[in-house]
Amino acid sequence: MQAGYLDHLKTVLAEIEAAGLMKRERQITSPQGGSIAVAGPAGPRQMVNLCANNYLGLADHPEIAQAASDALTRYGFGMASVRFICGTLDLHRELEHATARYLEKDDAILFAACFDANGGLFETLLTEDDAIISDSLNHASIIDGVRLSKARRYRYQTSDIDDLETQLKQSIEDGARFRLVVTDGVFSMDGHIANLPEICALAEQYGALVAVDDCHATGHLGAGGRGTPTLTGAGARVDILTGTFGKTLGGAMGGFIAGPQPVIDLLRQRARPYLFSNALAPAVAAGSLKAIEIAEKADDRRERLMHHTSRFRSGLSRAGFELLPGQTPIIPVMLGEASLAQDLAAALDKRGVYVAGFFYPVVPRGRARIRTQMSAALEDKDIDFAIGAFAEAGKELGII
């Protein structure tokens, strides 16, 4: 490769390093869980894990692993085809039906990831005659998906209902034919929940559709884990849901869109990440199917998750940390500068607590944080241990 170009890349990398923004991956040598083994120079160390999206602790659930293993034996490893050529198993349709039934929608369509689901949604459903009104804090995959569509774009300040109304009015003034409001159900970096009843009411008033990306809610929030529409009471007023099997629902991979039949039917014809990308592996489909079955009945796990959430939240507050308020199992510890988030993560690592610092470009500059996430896989003693470690490390670094 051209030396000049490689030098350019090295300069960019050096800038990232100098700004304290370099991300480094630690290696886990055990299954994902509340307690994990992490590779180190002196061999693996056991750590309390506070940063997986493993809300219900299903990532290493034996029945899910067994279902995946059975599918591996029965169907083999892969499909080597997109869905519409020769990649559709009975299992894929079963998973689509189960997802739709679980989320109380007509039908669902699978994608390799929710990133792809969001990549295919907008371009398929909306044209240059239409408008998309998007929350400013929406996930990167929504931002990219919106960019891929030719629809007119409007952005409202996160969760600002007045601004949403302003943008809706503007889209009407600009002559848009159809309007779609899109929001994360739970904002993953802050942990707050979208005000879906008010969003839906405005959408109804201004004749807009509503799509919710419920990746950080499906499986663990709301009755039966049906997510933010159920939790907030917006229910069926949310027209379209996108979600993932890579978080609460087993944590493997795969995404979906659930909604009215014609929406799903058109996506199957036109969504590019669906048409031009391989079918989900049979083991992943079977494991995710089992994960839905378990999640739906897992009130005990949801209760443990919420118990840990309030215990950890109050423990950290009492220790003097600045937290973002909220009621989800995402608990961001606000630190400001990226380097401080890195230093605290390193100090916690030394003490056997696995967390990750989040900083630009994942969150705005100067808003660096450690995003902790609770899991039903954690035990009370893990929570207490983690609170103790935070308090010690926070004092050491002069944060508290």
356 binds ligand PLP (CB under 6 A): no
188 binds ligand PLP (CB under 6 A): yes
Q: Which is nearer to ligand PLP, 118 or 375 (CB)?
A: 118
For the bound state, the minimum distance from the C-beta of residue 183 to ligand PLP, rounded and expressed in Å, comes to 10
User: Any catalytic annotation for residue 105?
Assistant: no
One residue of 61, 83, 92, 139 binding ligand PLP per CB under 6 A: 139
DSSP letter string over 40-68?
-TTS-EEEEE---S-TTS-TT-HHHHHHH
- List Cβ neighbours of 303 (8 Å cut-off, separation of 6 or more): none
Catalytic site residue from 188, 277, 288, 375? 188
Helix (H, G, I), strand (E, B) or coil at 358: strand
User: Any catalytic annotation for residue 150?
Assistant: no
Find residue 243's DSSP bridge partners. 256
Q: Which is nearer to ligand PLP, 105 or 139 (CB)?
A: 139
Q: Which is nearer to ligand PLP, 213 or 343 (CB)?
A: 213
Taking the alpha carbons at both ends of the chain, their separation in whole angstroms is 49
Q: How far apart are CA 189 and CA 367, in angstroms?
A: 10
For ligand PLP, which stretch binds (CB under 6 A), given 113-121, 145-153, 200-208, 258-266? 113-121
For the bound state, the minimum distance from the C-beta of residue 285 to ligand PLP, rounded and expressed in Å, comes to 14
User: 253-292: which residues touch ligand PLP (CB under 6 A)?
Assistant: 255
Catalytic site residue from 105, 247, 290, 308? 247
Q: How far apart are CA 3 and CA 112, in angstroms?
A: 36
User: Any catalytic annotation for residue 188?
Assistant: yes
DSSP letter string over 96-109?
HHHHHHHHT-SEEE
For ligand PLP, which stretch binds (CB under 6 A), given 19-27, 70-78, 107-115, 224-232? 107-115
The strand ranges marked E within the chain are 35-38, 45-49, 107-111, 131-135, 152-156, 179-184, 208-213, 240-244, 255-259, 330-336, 353-354, 357-358, 368-373
One residue of 114, 355, 356, 387 binding ligand PLP per CB under 6 A: 114
For the bound state, the minimum distance from the C-beta of residue 33 to ligand PLP, rounded and expressed in Å, comes to 19
**46, HSE (Cβ side, Cα atoms, 13 Å):** 4
Q: Which is nearer to ligand PLP, 301 or 371 (CB)?
A: 371
Helix (H, G, I), strand (E, B) or coil at 26: coil
Instruction: Write the burial class of residue 333 (CB in 10 Å: 0-12 exposed, 13-18 middle, 19+ buried).
Output: buried
One residue of 216, 226, 369, 371 binding ligand PLP per CB under 6 A: 216
Catalytic site residue from 61, 139, 216, 220? 216
371 binds ligand PLP (CB under 6 A): no
- For the record, the structure tokens of 241 come out as 């849901």
One residue of 50, 91, 113, 182 binding ligand PLP per CB under 6 A: 113
One residue of 99, 124, 141, 328 binding ligand PLP per CB under 6 A: 141
User: 226-245: which residues touch ligand PLP (CB under 6 A)?
Assistant: 244
Element (H, E) at 292: helix 282-296
Q: Which is nearer to ligand PLP, 132 or 399 (CB)?
A: 132
Q: Which is nearer to ligand PLP, 215 or 387 (CB)?
A: 215
User: 281-340: which residues touch ligand PLP (CB under 6 A)?
Assistant: none
Q: How far apart are CA 57 and CA 379, in angstroms?
A: 11
For the bound state, the minimum distance from the C-beta of residue 239 to ligand PLP, rounded and expressed in Å, comes to 17
Q: How far apart are CA 224 and CA 248, in angstroms?
A: 13
For the bound state, the minimum distance from the C-beta of residue 141 to ligand PLP, rounded and expressed in Å, comes to 4
State the Cα angle at 371 between 133 and 11, rounded to 5°: 85
> Strand 35-38 relative to strand 368-373: parallel, antiparallel, unpaired?
unpaired
Catalytic residue positions?
188, 216, 247
Residues at the site binding ligand PLP, with contacts judged by CB under 6 A: 113-115, 118, 139, 141, 184, 188, 213, 215-216, 244, 246, 255
